[in-house]
A = this chain, B = another copy of it.
Amino acid sequence: MKDIAKATGFSINTVSRALRDDSKLSEQTRKLICDKADELGYINNSLASSMRLKHSKIIGVITADSSNPFFADVVRGIEATAKNYNYNILLVNTGESPDEEKQYLKLFCGRHVDGLLIVPVFDDESIQKLYSRIDIPYLFLGRVVKGIENHSILHSDYSSQKEIVNYLINKGHKKILYLSGPDNVSNTYQRLNAYKDTLIENNIDVDSQYIIPTSGHIEDGYAAVNTAINQGIKFTAICCFNDLVAMGVLKSLKENNFDVPNEIEVFGFDNLKISQFMQPSISTVDVPKFALGCEAVHILMAHIEDANLEYTTKNLKTRLIFRESSPREIEVMSNN
């Protein structure tokens, strides 16, 4: 800007105004300055602007793992919507580590992002304290943080998982394997509890052998089922923490010559795009991932615009999707 001022003879401030159409400078002056700016390849230094303006037009996104297709979709939603508001996103991954989460939280505060969208880990007291101190608007995506109410935007984990288990039980399944999710993630507990509760409500014993923890990756599903089979555990259906796990499950089942769905039915969770391309295609819960990201930005923006706006937790609708790995028709199982 200094160079432009020097080159055009105007004051540095007049240049700033011209570049922003701020005050009514004469069209002639404005044009002159802007042309010179183009010529010199001027690019506004947004560090300086942000510092002065007290906002950065950036929203910080702390996700667990953006290479996971689930979060990737959420992030796409965030990005697309943020762009409409003329915001950019700064994206980091915690890999589900509370320490990373804390570190990035501070980083973003220091960079003065205008808002924060977080896929948080579940259970860590010091994080709670950190959040209580943060004066930037923030929202949790698809998860809940103990002790911090009303900052989440959720998808109905508990009820969806219940629906699945109920459906399988109604179909006659009694031996349902549950491949659970990673440790420090609220969805894991909600889904697992739904599984247990539903069994109990239907007078089926909850056998801890039938609950296998995974970290939610495709190879975990593969390994878990292999192990279960080797241990001689008998089952006629498998509920997976997510579609990725279900994909691994399918491979193990195939290698062990189990017919899906006729011998074993498989249910995933999330409705990743690939799931419909698997053979067999995977029955699952459609979680509105992209919409979750969009909605989160909308809500966050409302909080950015009005610092006094009260937080409320929102719950997004999901729906079961029946595909080849566990088709809707009751007949399939009634034959057995």
Contacts and interface: CB of A to CB of B under 8 A. Distances in A.
A67 interface: yes
Given A73-B67, A92-B79, A111 B47 contact: yes
A241 B51 CA distance: 46
A307 interface: no
Interface in A25-41: 41
A243 to B, nearest CB: 11
Contacts of A48: 51
Nearest to A279: B279
A44 interface: yes
Interface stretch (A167-175, A191-199, A247-255): A247-255
Nearest to A79: B93
A263 to B, nearest CB: 16
B89 A43 contact: no
Contact of A45 (B88, B110, B277): B110
Number of this chain's copies in the assembly equals 2
A29 B109 CA distance: 26
A24 interface: no
A91 interface: yes
Given A46-B111, A274-B274, A41 B133 contact: yes
A34 B49 CA distance: 29
A321 to B, nearest CB: 16
A107 interface: yes
Interface residues of A, number: 43
A250 B276 CA distance: 12
A90 interface: yes
Contacts of A110: 43-46
A62 to B, nearest CB: 12
B222 A251 contact: no
Interface in A54-101: 56, 66-67, 69, 72-73, 75-76, 79, 88-93
Interface of A: 41, 43-48, 50-51, 56, 66-67, 69, 72-73, 75-76, 79, 88-93, 106-107, 109-112, 133, 218, 222, 247-248, 250-251, 254, 273-274, 277-279
Given A47-B56, A247-B274, A247-B277, 13 more contacts: A43-B106, A45-B51, A45-B110, A46-B111, A47-B47, A47-B51, A66-B66, A66-B91, A67-B75, A79-B93, A218-B277, A250-B279, A278-B278
**For the complex of A and B, 4 pairs with smallest distance between CB atoms:** A67-B72, A91-B91, A46-B110, A279-B279
